[in-house]
Structure 1
Amino acid sequence: MKRDTQPPSLLTGRGHRRPADVPGSGTAHRAVTRTLSADPLGGTVRRTVLPSGLRVLTEAIPTVRSVSFGIWVGVGSRDETGASSGVSHFLEHLLFKGTNKRGALEISAEIEAVGGETNAFTTKEYTCYYARVLDQDLPLAIDVMCDLVADSVLDPADVETERGVILEEIAMHDDEPGDEVHDLFATAIYGDHPLGRLISGTEETISPMTRRQIQSFYKRRYTAPNIVIAAAGNLDHAAVVKLVRQALRGTPLDTPAAEPAAPRAATPAARTRAGRTVVEHKESEQAHVVLGSAGIGRVDERRFALGVLNNVLGGGMSSRLFQEIREQRGLAYSVYSYASQYADSGLFAVYAGCAPGKVEEVLGLVRAELATVAAQGVTEGELARGKGMAKGSYVLGLEDTGSRMSRLAKGELLYGDLLSVDQLLARVDAVTAEEVNTLAADLLARPMSLAVVGPFGEDDFTTPVA
């Protein structure tokens, strides 16, 4: 299974609930279907709310011969206690191990027999299970994926098997300092808040975790109102809804009438810390550093300006940081900036991987560049390039059914709405230099925290990072 640490797109949804989803509207007692868009750059998007509160969204793209089908659950590692850290990811593994209808081999073999693929990933705020198959095999994919998500048996023997697999996964992650440093940075900002913990959990939390704990989490969190099913490709919406209802009939997700769950609340905001330096000593050939601060949440209207600012600073080979640190000075192979966004909070940071002896110089250049942009803003040329990159990456990212399926699900689950491609491009076009510069003056002047993985100790970084 994949352990996804990538944030939701900056460019998805508006964060508003549809009036039809407001409790008391009466829509929970019957299936309600709407056409959301017929986008010239995409297909026809339809949405059905089942009586149980489970939502089904599809995008019909008749020019392809495949379909991507995903089941998205609005629960992730931030919904765990300290003692249960890693249970979402543990459960993700276990759901592929067998149901009342199929064993683990049957789950994988049935999809692979038709040339399809299945996988899953866990993030801090949601979990996704998905399959990609030929259009003619969509009924099979729906039946298999709905079965494993709705009716897993969580066999005790499988719990022990997957415990070992996850402990190996944690050990493997510890051997990847380029990944580890991002988790270390999140801990520096969020501390013991769930957003600061590892998605996978730790050896200390996974080793004693019981089947009862996992099963309790499964029953409480995997409920119909908290689930969005999305599909994109050569399909018929009504047929997909019918197949989903058939697949879920008689399972724990075949429940009485309920309203769909609202997107995760943006308030109160998660606690953050500033001005921290955390170092993980490893005798590695390369040092990995992340310098940054708390950012903005995903429903913040400034997210479009943030996307442009991120592109200007470190979003590509033409960015300021890449040009200054790699192209002109040759100090690092990899250097980039990034934004992670959650319902109520976010991160903005710069990563660099370099020789241990060059860390001080690289950090000095990064701090100087951030200070320059905070004080002077971006140029008109940079603004145009940053907007062009944002628009191009978004549209090009919709070239496959998997990306389109994800767009539907994230819009519904995370924002409660879905902007069309044209609306998204217009929002980016509307970003002004003043908006970007105002955001830069705020964001880049905040006290910075530093995470380092490499052959160092805490005392090697005594310079204030603010």
Structure 2
Amino acid sequence: MASKLLRISKKFTTISQRLKSSHSGDFQAALASLNIPTELTVANNNLRVASQSTDSDTTTVGLFIDVGARYEEANNNGAGNLVQRLLFKGTTKRAQADLESDISSLGARLFSTTSRERSAIYATCLTKDVPKIVEILSDAIQNPKLSSEDLAKVRSEILREADEVESNVQDVVFDYLHATAYQGSPLGQTVLGPRENIQSLTPNDLKYYIDTHFKASRIVLAAAGGVKHNEIVQLAQQHLSKLENSFDGEPPVLSRCRYTGSEVRLRDDSLPYAYIALAVEGPGWNSPDRIPLLVATSAIGAYDRSQGKLGENSTYEICHNYQGFNVTYSDTGLFGVYSVCEPLQCDDISKAVLEAWHRVSYSITDAELDEAKNRLITQLLNQQSTTKGNCEDIGNSILSFGRRVPLNELAASIENVSNQTVRDVTDKYTNNKCPVISAVGPVENLTDYINIRTRMYWARV
């Protein structure tokens, strides 16, 4: 199935260009033929079990948890990232060496991630080894050792990683972008957390974090590949039925989000290029504007001088590279463009971003829109062409929407977005709005915020 999706995704742009409106039925039939149902079962303790079964010899299975940096306070920001690293340092049932030996003997590959709203631990393995992997993952989240010795090692790892992140200018730009867009709210916090928290959080702090957030109703056991749904349900009953779902007091809720149009500039003339992200507030996961704005992001496209143009915005070719982005959270998002340019091109780049938004809002052509849709759907097909990509999509979709959105339904939603809708939605989020700007490097040439804000009013551009 995975190889089939890979072959189809490579041909999809050509196929979809041929399937114009007069062949929309054929187009939807082609998508439907790729669609395999995702089954969902809610266990007695409210744990959700979701899977998509194929004829693959491998399966990716994991636990996706509704928790991230946005659920943390200033004094424990970074706790989730510490917990994620410690889950595979051993449990009360098995030492780290035994855990690593068990994983190695299966030839499995482990993954773990923590973001601002989600966390996950999952693995890709041979389908026959799924029972063992589910047992290991279940043990990891229910019986973590959280020893002081392991915590000290993880602290050192994270502090080294923090140094690496600080040398990765793009990561710095996006961390600053969140910090200034959502200043004063947890969504503006980093996932790693501040150094003082990394160094001061204790095993008891991390145990409290786990006891507060790792509840059955906040977790999805997701699987994609050769395993059957009833087998996954049985494994959940066997290994996760004792996972608690009671809370001391009120269940954790997302902190209130507050977007603030503003800017942050870190001028560093020692850097060879200027790195700039310019964005506006976008919609959350369940907004009807999400899909049209994804299409608008695809229309803005991307460009890399070393690889050639991927979008239609020739004005961006003054820079080294640029990329439209659309970061989405539960109730908010950031819709913008990230670019890397020469120091004296900063102001030209800021103008080019506003011109791109203006073009999509008022003059995007049907041909450009079709290309943007094709590019977006092809990207979705590529993301779901492996068991890993499918599993990630299942877990995150259940947490975001309460269901797995079928691929043909999602593709149809994209195809059905009209030219006028893309124009109206882009205009709604960009015209006369307060932008957020994060700029790092030799950015003296970037005009002041008030000037950029004034340009956001299209009548004055």
Q: Among 136, 152, 157, which residue is 1:160 paired with?
A: 152
Counterpart position of 1:45: 38
Q: 1:278 to 1:72 in 2, by over 3 A?
A: same
CA offset at residue 42 of structure 1?
3.7
Q: 1:183 to 1:306 in 2, by over 3 A?
A: same
Give the AA of the match of 1:430: N
CA offset at residue 240 of structure 1?
1.8
CA offset at residue 408 of structure 1?
1.5
Calculate the TM-score normalised by the size of structure 1. 0.83
CA distance, structure 2, for counterparts of residue 269 and residue 82 of structure 1 = 14
CA distance, structure 2, for counterparts of residue 75 and residue 105 of structure 1 = 28
Are the aligned partners of 2:91 and 2:139 in contact in 1 as well (CA < 8 Å)?
A: yes
Counterpart position of 1:179: 171
Are the aligned partners of 2:86 and 2:146 in contact in 1 as well (CA < 8 Å)?
A: yes
Q: Secondary structure at the match of 1:291?
A: strand
Q: Secondary structure at the match of 1:113?
A: helix
Are the aligned partners of 2:344 and 2:445 in contact in 1 as well (CA < 8 Å)?
A: no
CA distance, structure 2, for counterparts of residue 214 and residue 237 of structure 1 = 33
Gaps of 5+ in 1: 1-37
Q: Among 247, 267, 286, which residue is 1:299 paired with?
A: 286
Q: 1:148 to 1:283 in 2, by over 3 A?
A: same
Runs of 4+ in 1 over 4 A off after TM superposition: 261-265, 456-463
Counterpart position of 1:143: 135
Query: Is 1:364 matched with 2:351?
Result: yes
Q: 1:292 to 1:171 in 2, by over 3 A?
A: same
Are the aligned partners of 1:77 and 1:125 in contact in 2 as well (CA < 8 Å)?
A: yes
Are the aligned partners of 2:282 and 2:335 in contact in 1 as well (CA < 8 Å)?
A: yes
CA offset at residue 280 of structure 1?
5.1
CA distance, structure 1, for counterparts of residue 99 and residue 343 of structure 2 = 47
CA distance, structure 2, for counterparts of residue 256 and residue 439 of structure 1 = 40
Give the AA of the match of 1:350: V
Give the AA of the match of 1:73: I
Counterpart position of 1:351: 338
CA offset at residue 413 of structure 1?
1.0
Give the AA of the match of 2:315: E
CA deviation digits over 1:253-284, x for unaligned, max 9?
Answer: 1x4799xx99977xx96111114343353621
CA deviation digits over 1:81-115, x for unaligned, max 9?
Answer: 01111111111011111111112222222122222
CA distance, structure 1, for counterparts of residue 68 and residue 209 of structure 2 = 11
CA offset at residue 461 of structure 1?
4.2
Counterpart position of 1:82: 74
Structure in which a larger fraction of residues adopt helix: 2
CA deviation digits over 1:153-212, x for unaligned, max 9?
Answer: 211111111111111111110011121101111112111211111111011221221222
CA offset at residue 299 of structure 1?
0.7
CA offset at residue 44 of structure 1?
3.9
CA offset at residue 417 of structure 1?
1.9
Q: 1:457 to 1:87 in 2, by over 3 A?
A: farther
Q: Secondary structure at the match of 1:40?
A: helix
CA distance, structure 1, for counterparts of residue 277 and residue 355 of structure 2 = 15
CA distance, structure 2, for counterparts of residue 256 and residue 193 of structure 1 = 27
Number of aligned residue pairs: 415
Give the AA of the match of 1:177: V
Counterpart position of 1:24: none
CA RMSD of aligned residues (A): 2.5
Q: Among 88, 94, 111, which residue is 2:86 paired with?
A: 94
CA distance, structure 2, for counterparts of residue 333 and residue 189 of structure 1 = 25
CA distance, structure 2, for counterparts of residue 83 and residue 377 of structure 1 = 48
Counterpart position of 2:50: 57
Counterpart position of 1:276: 263
Q: Secondary structure at the match of 2:200?
A: coil
CA offset at residue 373 of structure 1?
3.3
Are the aligned partners of 1:263 and 1:413 in contact in 2 as well (CA < 8 Å)?
A: no
Are the aligned partners of 1:89 and 1:122 in contact in 2 as well (CA < 8 Å)?
A: yes
Q: Among 303, 324, 332, which residue is 2:315 paired with?
A: 324
Q: Secondary structure at the match of 1:71?
A: strand
CA distance, structure 1, for counterparts of residue 379 and residue 251 of structure 2 = 29
What aligned pairs does 1:100-119 form with structure 2 within 5 A after superposition?
A: 100-119=92-111
Q: 1:358 to 1:388 in 2, by over 3 A?
A: same
CA deviation digits over 1:331-354, x for unaligned, max 9?
Answer: 322201101111111101111112
CA deviation digits over 1:359-405, x for unaligned, max 9?
Answer: 2322232233333433x241111111111112221123211011111
CA distance, structure 2, for counterparts of residue 81 and residue 92 of structure 1 = 17
Counterpart position of 2:329: 342
Give the AA of the match of 2:404: L
Gaps of 5+ in 2: 1-30, 304-308, 454-461
Are the aligned partners of 1:111 and 1:140 in contact in 2 as well (CA < 8 Å)?
A: no
Counterpart position of 2:191: 199
Are the aligned partners of 1:189 and 1:272 in contact in 2 as well (CA < 8 Å)?
A: yes
Counterpart position of 1:124: 116
Are the aligned partners of 1:277 and 1:458 in contact in 2 as well (CA < 8 Å)?
A: no
Are the aligned partners of 1:275 and 1:465 in contact in 2 as well (CA < 8 Å)?
A: no
CA offset at residue 451 of structure 1?
0.8
Counterpart position of 2:376: 390
Counterpart position of 1:411: 397
CA offset at residue 145 of structure 1?
1.1
Counterpart position of 1:27: none
Q: 1:409 to 1:256 in 2, by over 3 A?
A: closer
Counterpart position of 1:21: none
Counterpart position of 1:441: 427
CA deviation digits over 1:123-145, x for unaligned, max 9?
Answer: 11110101000111111111111
Q: Secondary structure at the match of 1:465?
A: helix
Are the aligned partners of 2:57 and 2:226 in contact in 1 as well (CA < 8 Å)?
A: yes
Q: Secondary structure at the match of 2:325?
A: strand
Q: Secondary structure at the match of 2:101?
A: helix
Are the aligned partners of 1:340 and 1:346 in contact in 2 as well (CA < 8 Å)?
A: yes
Give the AA of the match of 2:364: V
CA distance, structure 2, for counterparts of residue 102 and residue 301 of structure 1 = 47
CA distance, structure 2, for counterparts of residue 77 and residue 282 of structure 1 = 32
Q: 1:359 to 1:275 in 2, by over 3 A?
A: same
CA distance, structure 1, for counterparts of residue 301 and residue 100 of structure 2 = 40
Q: Secondary structure at the match of 1:443?
A: helix
Give the AA of the match of 1:398: Q
